[in-house]
Amino acid sequence: MLFKEIIGLPHIKKHLTHSADSGRVPHAQLFVGPEGSGTLPAAIAYAQYILCQNSKSENDTGNEVCNLKCNALTHPDLHFAFPVSNSDTVKSHAVSSHYLTEWRQFLKDDPYGSLFDWYRVIGIEKKQGQIGVDESNEIVKRLSLKSYEGGYKIMIIWMVEKMNTSASNKLLKLLEEPPDKTIFLLIAEDEEQIIQTIRSRCQMLHFPPLPEEAITTALVDMGLQRDEAQRLAYESNGNFNKALELMNKDSEELIFEKWFVQWVRSAFMAKGKKGAIHELILWSEEVAKTGRETQKNFLKYCIAVFRQAMLINYKVNELAFMKVHVDGFQFDKFASYVHENNILGIVEELEQAIYHVERNGNSKIILTDLSIKLTRLLHRTAA
């Protein structure tokens, strides 16, 4: 992948190419950015730029053979680590090398894809993937060998916040004193979930959400009409992966919208209708049947919707980008129930639910409890 294929990010591309051209490449870098902002494609392009000694000029293809290997993600000095779990094909001690074929296809199909997209590719969407001790042992083993082509060895660790504490501690020494000509490119969406000792050993680079115009241009280049591309770019809020899902009409959020509307409608009715409690329990059972990653993604989606509703309620419409496409649901009317007297409580309860789901709590109980609390919070009056 070349830098010219990366959407937007001109200042970051300039920074990365300058560091490589000047020979001042930090041995450990942490790329932090939200989903769909291009952290992974940028890391791959940066690795290719270094390994193949590419030039800033788009007419200079650098080392052609090297670029062919990198484009196929088969360069022997380009290594990857990413969250995995045991599956139908890998019964125990799963590590990234077991899924390299799927990984290469995933990056070819959608380099801006999310962690949950990756879990679906390898069939672990009902589990919680991680980067464990077995993976860290593999990383140490791979990087202890000499470079195949005599240059740099580059290890890209995607979603490093999914690395457990034992694995993180095992890599600390390697990050602090890496083998000669070894570069670590760590990628994360939430730096706060990474242990401080890892963060302190990396030079950090923050990626912003992609500009609306950059996403619009990319969608137009893919054959979309400009008006439609602008609409999708606006709704995607800087997330190119979401823009692609909206374009292909297979967005996970379309399912989340139906769940959310069903949930809040039942919660509103529950105050004066005892039967609505039964509906909330049935709703909790339905969502609880899905995988934990789906549940967590849905609860994060709910947080985003409530925040957008509060913005609409307080007439800050220029910051409200989300749409709910369910027939009969009036976002403006719903927004009037989200205000300063309940927004903090709602977000706190949703975050607590995410915390308990992540720690393998009983999803049905967690969601039922959350539903009852939501009923009370939504009926709380504004000041």
CATH number for the domain that contains residue 98:
3.40.50.300
Domain end among 250, 274, 301: 250
- How far is residue 277's CA from residue 68's CA, in Å, rounded to a whole number? 59
Give the mean pLDDT of 29-44.
95
Residue 151 lies in a domain: yes
Q: How many structural domains compose the chain?
A: 3
Look up residue 58 and give its two tokens: 């788009």
Identify the CA nearest to 42 among candidates 250, 149, 185, 148: 185
Same-domain status, 80 and 168: yes
Same-domain status, 35 and 181: yes
pLDDT for position 383: 65
Same-domain status, 177 and 277: no
Give the mean pLDDT of 162-170.
91
pTM: 0.79
- H helix or E strand, kind and range, residue 317: none
pLDDT for position 189: 93
Domain end among 182, 208, 234: 208
Same-domain status, 172 and 194: yes
Residue 122 lies in a domain: yes
Domain end among 155, 175, 208: 208
**Chain mean position to CA 343:** 25
Residue 239 lies in a domain: yes
203-236 burial, b if ≥16 CB within 10 A, otherwise e?
A: eebebebbebebbbbbbeeeebeeeebbbbbebb
Same-domain status, 258 and 329: yes
Query: Is residue 59 pLDDT above 60, yes or no?
Result: no
Same-domain status, 124 and 155: yes
Residue 277 lies in a domain: yes
pLDDT for position 370: 92
- How far is residue 50's CA from residue 45's CA, in Å, rounded to a whole number? 9
Same-domain status, 298 and 344: yes
HSE-up (13 A, CA, CB side) for residue 48:
28
The identity of residue 28, as a single letter, is A
Give the mean pLDDT of 13-24.
92
Same-domain status, 195 and 237: no
Q: Which residues contact 42 (CB under 8 A, 6 or more apart)?
A: 3, 6, 9, 12, 13, 16, 31, 207
Domain, as residue range, for 277: 251-378
Same-domain status, 108 and 29: yes
Helices (H), the chain: 10-21, 39-51, 64-71, 100-109, 115-121, 133-144, 165-176, 196-199, 212-221, 226-236, 240-248, 252-269, 275-288, 292-313, 331-335, 343-358, 363-378
143 or 56: which leads in pLDDT: 143
Residue 206's SS3 state is strand
Residue 183 lies in a domain: yes
Residue 245 lies in a domain: yes
Band (pLDDT 50/70/90 cuts) for residue 252 is low
Identify the CA nearest to 83 among candidates 162, 170, 153: 162
Burial class (CB in 10 A: 0-12, 13-18, 19+), 7: buried
Query: Is residue 64 pLDDT above 90, yes or no?
Result: no
Contact 150, 181 (CB under 8 A): no
Query: Is residue 154 pLDDT above 90, yes or no?
Result: yes
Residue 383 lies in a domain: no
Contact 40, 50 (CB under 8 A): no
pLDDT for position 294: 86
Same-domain status, 229 and 153: no
Same-domain status, 139 and 270: no
Averaged confidence pLDDT in the chain: 88
Residue 325 lies in a domain: yes
* Phi, psi torsion values for 107, nearest 5 degrees: -70, -30
Same-domain status, 266 and 338: yes
pLDDT for position 62: 61
Look up residue 344 and give its two tokens: 């903090």
- How far is residue 75's CA from residue 82's CA, in Å, rounded to a whole number? 17
> Terminus-to-terminus CA distance in the chain, angstroms?
54
Band (pLDDT 50/70/90 cuts) for residue 55 is low
How many of the other CB atoms lie within 10 Å of CB of 24? Answer: 8
pLDDT in tens, 281-339: 888 988 888 888 889 889 998 998 899 889 888 888 777 777 776 777 888 888 888 89
Contact 121, 108 (CB under 8 A): no
pLDDT in tens, 183-212: 999 999 999 999 999 999 999 999 999 999
